Structure 1
Amino acid sequence: MAVPQSKAELLSAIDINYAKLAKDLASIPEPLTRAKTLEGHMKNTTMSVHDLVAYLVGWNELVLKWHAQQRAGKVVDFPETGFQWNQLGQLAQKFYADYKGLAWPELLVRLETAKTKLVDLVESQSDIALYGVSWYEKHTMGRMIQFNTSSPYANARGRLRAWKKANDLD
């Protein structure tokens, strides 16, 4: 799928990639979601399907936090307070821990809720606000949202499909 260049394309990419991911997630037996059998987000680590979804929730909610802070006139600490861009593996580990206590169904609801709030955010913006001005360094708001929604949804789906095939779940 091409990189979105407009509000309509971004909304479409989020909806299409999320729908495909949600279908795959719904087919995974809950008892298998905690097995650490996927390659992790940090070198030489493993994660579970639950961790993979926690990662998505973490980034989706982080984007919402960035926008809330900016709207409130606060300085946004990118990517997250206490983390630099070269520490994204450690940030992934934080997300795994943050959502570890959520049951699988609750985690899926949390992902859908975050995705819905991001869609609402995109719908509230104009094409110019999303793609006409830099929002963070050289990146537009639309690009930053895409980096943390439709692209990771597609990536996670690819990981899941390979995992399901390797585990005879297809």
Structure 2
Amino acid sequence: MKLPASRQELLRNIRDRHRQFRIEAATIRASLYRKTAEVGPAHRMPIDAATVLIDMILWNTMILQFAAAGPRGVSAPYYCREAMLERVGRLAHPFRRDFASRSLHDLHELTRLGQERVVSSVALLSEAALFAPSEGGTETLGGRLQVYTCMAYANALSKLRAWKQVV
């Protein structure tokens, strides 16, 4: 996916990723959402649909935090891809534990609310804030927001589809 050139294009791309995930997640059967299956061609990772949804709640939180940092976040080491992935890895277990008792409906709702908050926070940012090149680089806040959203949602969509094939 090419990087966006405007706020409207960025919002359209983010909404499209959210919509793709919501459509797939809507077909999760409540009787199976906690059923663990081994997915992934190389790692045989045990996962369930609840975990995928909880991980999206975590990613939405991380993306919101990055968006709130604004343009200064693009050049901050705290928000580089490796640091974001490291934090998600570190926070995944506590998030999964904290949301373990939530119903499928609650997880859907929390994911939807996170998605709405991401869209709202991006909509509040100006074109200049989203697309001004970062200090010492050519990356933009808008470009990075799209990359993080696409990366997280593509990964989750892939896991969810693989899980559904096994279950």
TM-based fold match above 0.5: yes
Q: Hey, what does 2:73 align to over in structure 1?
A: none
Unaligned segments of structure 2, at least 5 residues = 71-75
Q: Show structure 1 runs of 5+ residues with no match.
A: none
Q: Which residue of 2 is the match for residue 153 of structure 1?
A: 153
Higher relative contact order (CA 8 A, sep 6+): 2
Kept in 1: contact 2:63–2:149 (CA 8 A): no
What CA distance in whole angstroms lies between the structure 1 residues aligned with 2:116 and 2:39? 28
Shift of 1:115: 0.7
Structure number having the greater helix percentage: 2
Task: Give, in angstroms, the shift of residue 138 of structure 1.
Answer: 6.9
> 1:5-42: CA deviations, max 9, x gaps?
432222111111211211111111012111222548xx
Structure 2 equivalent of residue 93 of structure 1: 93
3-state SS of the aligned residue for 2:3? Answer: coil
Partner of 1:132: 132
Q: SS at the partner of 2:4?
A: coil
| Mapping for residues 1-170 of structure 1, pairs under 5 Å | 1-39=1-39, 45-68=45-68, 70=69, 78=78, 85=84, 87=86, 88-134=88-134, 139-167=139-167
**Alpha-carbon distance between aligned partners in 1 of 2:90 and 2:36, rounded to the nearest angstrom:** 17
Any conservation in 2 of the 1:115–1:149 contact (CA below 8 Å)?
Answer: no
The amino acid that maps onto 1:145 is: L
SS where residue 50 of structure 2 aligns?
Answer: helix
Name the Cα RMSD after superposition. Answer: 3.3
Aligned residues: 160
